[in-house]
Amino acid sequence: MNYLKNGFLSLAFLLAAVAAGAAAARDARPLGLTCNYAEEPLGMGDRRPSLGWRIDTGRPGYLQGAYRVLVASDRKLLEADRGDVWDSGVVREGRSQHVKFGGVPLLPCCDYYWKVKVWDTDGAESDWSPVASWRTGLFDEFDWKGEWVSSRFAEVLPHRRYKSNRRTERENWFMEDSAAVYMRRQVELPSPVRRATAFICGLGYYELYINGRKVGDRVLDPLFTDYDKRVVYAAYDVTDRLAAGSNAVGIVLGNGWYSSPTRDVFGMHDVNWRTPPKVRLNIVVEYESGAREVIATDRTWRWGHGEIVYNSVRSGETIDHTRTVHGWNEVGFRDSLWRPVCRVPAPLGRLTADPMPPMRVTGELPAERVVQTSPGVYLVDFGENLTGWVEARVRGERGQTVELQFNEVLKADGSLDTQNSTWHTRGRYQTGLLILGGEGMETFEPRFTYHGFRYMQVRGLTYEPSPEDFTAKCVHTDLPSAGTFHCSMPKLNELNAAVRRTLLNSIHGIPGEEPTREKMGWTLDAAVVMESYLYNFDALNAYKKALRDFRDAQAPSGHIPSTVPSAGWGYVHEDGSLDYWDDPWWGGSIFLLTDKLYLHTGDVGVLEYAFPALKAYVDFLTSTARDHIVTWSLGDWLDLNPDTTSQASNLTPVAQTSTAGYYWMSRRLAEYAEILGYDRRLSEHYGALAERIRERFNREFLDPRTGIYAENSQTAQALPLALGLVPDTLKAKVGQRLLDAIDLRNGHISAGFIGGNFTMDYLPRSGRFDVAYRMLTRPESPGWLHMVQSERSTMSESINQNGPGSGHHPYGAYIGFWLYKYLGGIRPDEAKPGFREFVIEPGLDSGLAEVSVGCRSLYGEIVSAWKRRDGGGMLTIRVPANTVAELILPAGAVGRNPRVNGVRLRDIPSIAPIPSSGDGKIRYSVGSGTYEFELR
């Protein structure tokens, strides 16, 4: 391999590296190795994964100048510094993320081990990183031996449709048989097992058992996708579960979203992909001898029923302990009365892996109180809103039924409001039915449903239960935490806690999902809370999955519905008319997802993947525009006009927000085409289209005399400013009208779903941090702090205290980004995406005595923290290795002769002043390290 071409190190650099490495201590080491943003992934389905690492060093100003990656099929080869799968050679590049694997073709179900070393820009060599690994999944159809099997045969319909939420003849047999399906097979293994990997997809949900024990801690798996386009499998290491001799493999199948028995407004009960639950399984067994065997689903498996006699994501679960089958998943169980499974057609979607974190039980909440609200009816309070279910311990006679109902709102008399939030569901809603076996204290816990709730109502007991009888299980996508926030204002700490709780409660395979009423992925909801997710949690793979969902949902016309994945609801109607519950900003949220993913990762692969869908959506908007004006549909949902109770846009014309979106998306498309190096005519075409839209927009909506786009509307003023629609000569006037619109509301926010985020983002970027901070910290409604009663609160759909919508909704959590991006001041450099270069502009003008903000970028943790004291204070910042920050401070914050880490700033080589940009602020370029700036 020739390592001296195509941008690799020159011989001179190699010689310098050797000399520098011999002279310098190896105080840098790569750590935190990731494969497609995941550590040690199991079941990696990408043939050319993206590798990344952080660099641990105590040396200030460290920048990587080169790297070398070794990938091997055996850990011992790496110990000898041999990469038989890939040796990248010494690559003269500074990037430590998005390094594409470039070795020999990867094989399915194989372990690959890798390590990396780096050189700094002076040629000093690091130690090798610790060894990391990934295990590949099954890449293609021929990698699967297992067949799709089910309890009964049903064809898969090829055409998507949405008719109504009424019951149809086709669904009658589904409605009558919504029990979980239990499957099993006993197998003989001839010799000891060296390694075993289970690959499984069970639709809608599944649990896998080996020798009586559940495999893994995933719940509500697999992820909800458009099953006509993509179906997700999971991988488990089951080496320690299998042994030579007899082994039993068991599977329980629930309905999930694939075979929902509950009628709802979204038509999930009548979708074309729906058949009885089905499963496909491969357990790849490797023996100590080196031989391989696959335990697979086929017609030798048998099925029966058990204690789960009904299950529905929306409606709940019925568990009948009189039908419990003991030992069904163990060796020796007599299954002669069970029936053979059927081989059934595969779902239409491609079977694939997905690196999004799974759902898990992430915590438990004990019941805080139990009160009797009427004879025989008890209310259980868990103290806070959550999503998940309850483990109940109850007793009674055999066949006795206990009913559990879940919701988040009480009636005036203190009893559960069982009708609140039920509008989207027809019939049974968030209800568990427990049929007792009559064997003393019995434990019930559902497996194929989840609820949004704080309270549970219990009926059917003949005694008064105690709080110890009930434990709530918190269930959601298990996102690792990536952000920390604390300040000297307790209410903002409570706000941050409420935001984080709401974000976690609102992700069950789909970010930004309303967890109580709808449980669907409204597209703009996912987009507006995206930065709050990215600052608080490691949510990159969650949003990459969301981007795939958007692409999967796109119709041939380019249209994307307002909920994704969709059963057919929200698409353009058969007569060509657009749905009322649609808007360019909802389908066009694919641009917001792409933009933020690119901004936070710097990965041009995101742009490459999304570009065809982005282009198709802009072309769709063009087909609906009339003289470059788009006039449909929802507009600035839930903006605040005190003169009406309507939920739709009341202050800003729909044509204004829709056309503004059309402009921004066209402009972004032109910019992406240029970044990707596509044919210049492409960027020129969409750039010219954007300019025509801009000209037409201002001619239609802007009053150049007053600077007003729409009277008294914050969104109407902020959106054109944020998106670059305003003529340069009128920016000051339009900006003043925005301030006037805010003053009209006494400093409160009135913008809705489209405008709220843009308003709060634009104000500090335009120099009005003070105005945005005042809006954030207003304790009264409308706003955010009135939602927060304690650190156990959740955010609401409406920023108006008495407004419509859910009190447990992701939209209100969008404000969480502001605490990190503008109060802490940590934000990506929009000109250089990816956080390798970024900005820290702490909100010192807030007047807060203490603020501490940390967020984990791909390169490591970034910190911005300060403590104010009379006459001074200290600002602490942390810049990860291999990155550079631009530190921006108010004039006079550090004085004429700043001191950092106890010495003069000019004596620190990794910090350099940046010439003034004319705004009166002080700027420094800061290399990696931890620094304490003395404040005046």
Q: What is the mean pLDDT of each run of 10 residues along the chain (936 residues)?
A: 34 41 66 98 97 97 98 97 98 98 97 98 97 97 97 77 45 61 98 98 98 98 97 98 98 97 88 94 96 97 98 97 98 97 96 96 98 97 97 98 96 90 86 97 98 97 98 98 98 98 97 92 97 98 98 97 90 83 96 99 98 99 98 92 69 97 99 98 98 99 98 98 98 98 97 97 98 97 92 89 83 97 98 98 97 98 96 95 98 92 96 91 98 96
Q: Are residues 268 and 395 in the same domain?
A: no
The CATH number for 111's domain is: 2.60.40.10
Sign of the CA dihedral 83, 87, 89, 90?
negative
pLDDT score of 2: 36
71 and 173 fall within a common domain: no
Q: Using CA atoms, how far apart are residues 143 and 11, in angstroms rounded to an integer?
A: 44
Q: What whole-number distance in Å separates Cα of residue 624 and Cα of residue 761?
A: 29
CATH of the domain at 729: 1.50.10.10
Chain segment 746-790, per-residue pLDDT in tens: 999 999 999 999 999 999 999 999 999 999 999 999 999 999 988
| Token couple for 889 | 């401070």
Single residue among 446, 461, 477 that ends a domain in this structure: 477
Written as one string, the DSSP assignment of 238-284 is: -GGG--SEEEEEEEEEE-TTTT--SEETT-GGG-TT--S-EEEEEEE
Instruction: For residue 273, tell me if it sits in a domain.
Output: yes
CA angle 219, 222, 228 (to 5 degrees): 155
Do both 281 and 317 map to the same domain?
yes
Q: Are residues 205 and 228 in the same domain?
A: yes
| Closest CA relative to residue 235, chosen from 284, 175, 186 | 284
790 shares a domain with 809:
yes
Give the CATH number, domain containing residue 381: 2.60.120.260
> What whole-number distance in Å separates Cα of residue 356 and Cα of residue 362?
16
Number of domains within the chain: 5
Q: Is residue 6 part of a domain?
A: no
Same domain, 73 and 200: no
Q: Which domain holds residue 148?
A: 141-356
Rg (alpha carbons) of the chain, rounded to whole number: 29
Residues 514 and 581 in one domain: yes
Query: Residue 166 has what pLDDT?
Result: 45
Q: What's the CA gap between 199 and 138, in Å, rounded? A: 8
pLDDT value at position 159? Answer: 60
d(CA 663, CA 659): 6
pLDDT at site 160: 52
- Residue 878 CB neighbour total at 10 angstroms: 18
- What's the rounded Cα separation, in Å, for the pair 52 and 858? 8
Q: Give the pLDDT score at 389.
A: 99
Distance set, CA 867 to CA 354, 497, 568, 847, 900 (Å): 43, 21, 54, 11, 15
Which of 356, 371, 395 terminates a domain? The answer is 356
Q: Does residue 767 sit within a domain?
A: yes
Q: 374 and 466: one domain?
A: yes
Which amino acid belongs to residue 296? A
The CA distance from 468 to 622, in Å, is: 60
Is 1 inside any structural domain?
no
DSSP secondary structure code for residue 710 in this structure? S
Q: What is the DSSP letter of 577?
A: P
Task: Assess whether 737 and 655 both reside in one domain.
Answer: yes
> 347 with 150: CB under 8 angstroms?
no
Any domain includes 46: yes
In a domain, 447, yes or no: yes
**Which of 452, 477, 502 is the C-terminal boundary of a domain?**
477
805: region left, alpha or beta (phi > 0 left; psi from -120 to 50 alpha): left
In a domain, 831, yes or no: no
CB 211 within 8 Å of CB 331: yes
The confidence score (pLDDT) of residue 845 equals: 95
Are both 468 and 488 inside the same structural domain?
A: no
Question: Scanning the structure block, which residue is given the tokens 């789960």?
Answer: 308
| 3-state SS string for 91-147 | ECCCCCCCEECCCCCCCCCCEEEEEEEEEECCCCECCCCCCEEEEECCCCHHHCCCC
**What is the rounded CA–CA span in Å between residue 860 and residue 34?**
12
Q: Which of 884, 880, 823, 885 is nearest to 848 (CA)?
A: 823
How far CA 451 is from CA of 252, 406, 455, 518, in Å, comes to 21, 7, 11, 11
Tokens of 281: 């399984």
The two structure tokens encoding residue 685: 């075409």
614 shares its domain with 686: yes
Within a domain: 66: yes
pLDDT at 422: 81
pLDDT for position 544: 98
Hey, what amino acid is at 50?
S
What is the β-pairing status of strands 837-840 and 884-889? parallel
Question: What kind and span of H or E run contains 458?
Answer: strand 451-459
Residues 472 and 323 in one domain: no
